[in-house]
Amino acid sequence: MEATSSIDPELEFTSTGVNSSKLGMWIFLASEVMFFTGLIGSYIVLRLGSDTWPDPSQHLATSVLAINTFVLICSSLSMVLGLQAISQGDQKKLTKYLLITILLGTTFLVIKVADYVHMIHNNFTITSSLFGSCYYFLTGFHGLHVAGGIVTLVVVLIMAKKGRFSKSHYDMVECTGLYWHFVDLVWIILFAILCLV
């Protein structure tokens, strides 16, 4: 009980030498890999088992989705730049890049929703066909992940504004970044196998 002082050498000690938050985030990402294996695997099986699969370009506005892909890749870039900034101790730059990342993520979601509305208007809904079901289900879950990422990024931004991160202490920026890139990575795969093939 007496060991409550803030500088405790035992605290710094981890058995593997890897930072615990980062390790936890990677384990979470491993489980996310399995979650999307379940979703994408179901999609692959449903698709290969179906005799009547439409050409995606019949229903989807490929150019809009391509722009959205670009938006998300840009957001990943700004996230990386933000992390590089704080690893050199530049808090101002970090705040700037976090803000850009949030804006780009929000843009992605806005375009996504507008696209949904447009398609539903054109009578392509979640119950129109198996393709429709898969499309809305998979992109919907990806959208939820993006939304969750934005909320986390806002929290990180507020913390950054308060000057909670420094050159030697930026675990949370790093972990949020890992998650954000993973969401980007999932979209890259979804875009190719769901929207283009």
Partner 1 sequence: MSGDVDPKPGFIRTYVFSTDHKMIAKQYLFLGIFYLLIAGLFAVQIRMQLAHPDAEAPLIGKALWPQTDGKMPPEFYNMLFTMHGSLMVFFAITPIVIGAFGNFVIPLQIGAKDMAFPILNMLSFWVMFIGGIVMAASFFVPHGAATAGWTAYASLSSSSEVTSPILGHGQTFWLLGIAFAGTSSLMGGINYIVTVLNFRCRGMKLLRMPLTTWGLFFTAILNVLWVPVVAAALFMVLVDRLFGTSFFMAGPLASVEGGQPLLYQHLFWGFGHPEVYILILPVWGLVGDLLSVFSRKPAFGYKATVYSMATIVILSQIVWGHHLFTSGMNPLLGHVFVFLTITISVPTSIFFLNWLATLWRGAIRLTEPMLYALGIVFVFCIGGLTGLFNALQALDIYVHDTYFVVGHFHYTLAASVLFGVFAGIHYWFPKMFGRNMNARMAKVHFCLTFIFLNCVFFSMMYVGAGGHMRRISDPTTYTFLKDFQVWNRFMGYSTLALAAAQLLFAWNFFHSLFFGKKAQQNPWQANTLEWSAPTPPPHGNFLSPPKVARGPYEFNSPLSGDRDWLMQDDPAATASDS
Partner 2 sequence: MSTAPTSSSFSPLKVFAWLTILTVLEIGLTYVDLSKPTLAAGLILSAIAKAILVALYFMHMKFEGKLIWGMVVASIFVGVIFLVGLVPDIVVGYWR
* Binding to partner 1 in span 11-40, by CB under 8 A: 11, 13-16, 18, 20, 23-24, 27-28, 30-32, 34-39
Alpha-carbon distances of 40 from 4, 31, 62, 114, rounded to whole Å = 48, 14, 20, 24
* Binding to partner 1 in span 49-78, by CB under 8 A: 49-52
Cβ contact 109:71 at 8 Å: no
Stretch that binds partner 2, among 15-23, 102-110, 125-133, 157-165 (CB under 8 A): 15-23
Where residue 178 falls (left for φ over 0; alpha for ψ -120 to 50; beta otherwise) is alpha
For position 21 contacting partner 2 by CB under 8 A, the verdict is: no
For position 117 contacting partner 2 by CB under 8 A, the verdict is: no
Q: Shortest distance, CB of residue 150 to partner 2, whole angstroms? A: 18
Q: Distance between CA atoms of 152 and 154, rounded to whole angstroms?
A: 5
122: which DSSP letter?
T
The two structure tokens encoding residue 76: 């990943």
Nearer to partner 2 by C-beta: 20 or 122?
20
- Cβ-count burial of 17 within 10 angstroms (0-12 exposed, 13-18 middle, 19+ buried)? exposed
Pick from 92, 127, 162, 197 the residue near partner 1 by CB under 8 A.
127
Identity at 197, one-letter amino acid code: V
For position 41 contacting partner 2 by CB under 8 A, the verdict is: yes
If contact means CB under 5 to 8 A according to the sort of partner, which of partner 1, partner 2, none does residue 153 touch?
none
The two structure tokens encoding residue 17: 């030498």
Phi, psi of 168 (to 5 degrees): -100, -5
Helices (H), 18-61: 20-49, 56-59
If contact means CB under 5 to 8 A according to the sort of partner, which of partner 1, partner 2, none does residue 133 touch?
partner 1
Stretch that binds partner 2, among 98-106, 113-121, 152-160, 187-195 (CB under 8 A): 187-195
| Positions that interact with partner 1 (CB under 8 A) | 1, 3-4, 8, 10-11, 13-16, 18, 20, 23-24, 27-28, 30-32, 34-39, 42, 45-46, 49-52, 126-130, 132-133, 137, 141
